[in-house]
């Protein structure tokens, strides 16, 4: 317990820092939409000094890579290989999806989810997404797509991701890992792609709830892109519903929206 507490002591302040950096407020009405301004940043139309961007890049690399120091390690020498319950809370002995000793545990688990737009307000943009995740022992494969449309913007923001995840422990009743791969953004017919690094943390504190946080940083030629989201989930056997707040930062241009979704395990 002492070792887990020390890990939380190091990780939670980083989550707080990332959340604070992504908080957004609604801007004053202006001729150019934030989406168009974000595209300008991706195209290199920014007055930001190169040294400032370089410093921010190294900061985000440090924040994203640091959790790899909590790489998955057995709690004891003869601990069985990581296995999964069929869904969270399926086994009363384990709160989450991880199963460390049950012979019925499986080596892999599919996790499929989708989100949709809430009624449009100052706190909710047009948003839809789909994501498929395949857990295989200590690894995961992830593919996802998101559509995000700012009110008044002439075109939406499309994002696609193709990621690998290496699991680390975080907490016995949780799941999480270090993610790396490729992310692409599509704005007004132009495509911007770059390597993506991130962290995924999920905890199942008590039946039937879960809390999840995901953050990633993407390097493109002229602007770095930061994605963050915080989920509150309610699980019913192998299905779940969740409420989410999304942050997106494209070269310093910030977006934020509430959304909701559903998912299932198999």
CATH number at residue 23: 2.40.128
Per-residue confidence (pLDDT) for residue 24, from 0 to 100: 41
Asked if pLDDT for residue 216 goes beyond 60, the answer is: yes
Cα 26 to Cα 109: distance, rounded to the nearest angstrom: 40
Q: Please, which pLDDT band fits residue 39 given cuts at 50, 70 and 90?
A: confident
Most confident of 7-21, 42-56, 185-199: 185-199
CA distances from 31 to 27, 36, 152, 211 (A): 12, 10, 10, 38
Per-residue confidence (pLDDT) for residue 29, from 0 to 100: 44
Average pLDDT over residues 97-112: 81
Instruction: Note down the domain range covering 155.
Output: 2-265
pTM: predicted TM-score of the whole model, two decimal places: 0.77
Q: Residue 161: which residues within 8 A CB-CB, separation 6 or more?
A: 142, 143, 144, 145, 181, 182, 183, 184, 196, 216
Report H helices in the chain.
2-22, 34-42, 50-65
**Per-residue pLDDT tens digits for 227-254:** 999 999 999 999 999 999 999 999 888 9
Average pLDDT over residues 153-160: 94
3-state secondary structure of 7: helix
Report H helices in 115-214.
none
* Burial (0-12, 13-18, 19+ Cβ within 10 Å), 27: exposed
Total tally of structural domains belonging to the chain = 1
């Amino acid at each position: 317990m002492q070792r887990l507490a020390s890990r939380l002591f190091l990780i939670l302040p980083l989550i707080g820092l990332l959340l604070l950096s992504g908080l957004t407020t609604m801007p004053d009405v202006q001729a150019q939409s934030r989406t168009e301004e974000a595209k300008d940043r991706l195209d290199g139309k920014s007055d930001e000094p190169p040294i400032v961007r370089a410093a921010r890049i190294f900061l985000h690399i440090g924040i994203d890579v640091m959790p790899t120091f909590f790489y998955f390690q057995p709690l004891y020498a003869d601990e069985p290989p990581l296995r999964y319950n069929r869904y969270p809370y399926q086994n009363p002995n384990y709160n989450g999806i991880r199963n460390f000793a049950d012979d019925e545990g499986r080596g892999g688990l599919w996790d499929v989810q989708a989100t949709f737009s809430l009624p449009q307000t100052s706190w909710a943009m047009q948003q839809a997404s789909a994501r498929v995740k395949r857990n295989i022992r200590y690894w995961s494969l992830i593919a996802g797509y998101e559509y995000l449309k700012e009110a008044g913007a002439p075109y939406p923001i499309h994002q696609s991701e193709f990621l690998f995840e290496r699991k680390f422990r975080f907490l016995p009743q949780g799941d999480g890992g270090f993610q790396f791969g490729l992310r692409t953004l599509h704005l007004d017919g132009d495509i911007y792609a770059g390597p993506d690094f991130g962290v995924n943390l999920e905890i199942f504190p008590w039946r039937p709830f879960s809390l999840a946080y995901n953050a990633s940083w993407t390097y493109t030629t002229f602007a770095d892109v930061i994605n963050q989201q915080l989920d509150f989930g309610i699980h019913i056997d192998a299905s779940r519903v969740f409420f989410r707040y999304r942050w997106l930062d494209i070269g310093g241009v910030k977006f934020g929206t509430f959304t909701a979704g559903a998912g299932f395990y198999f």
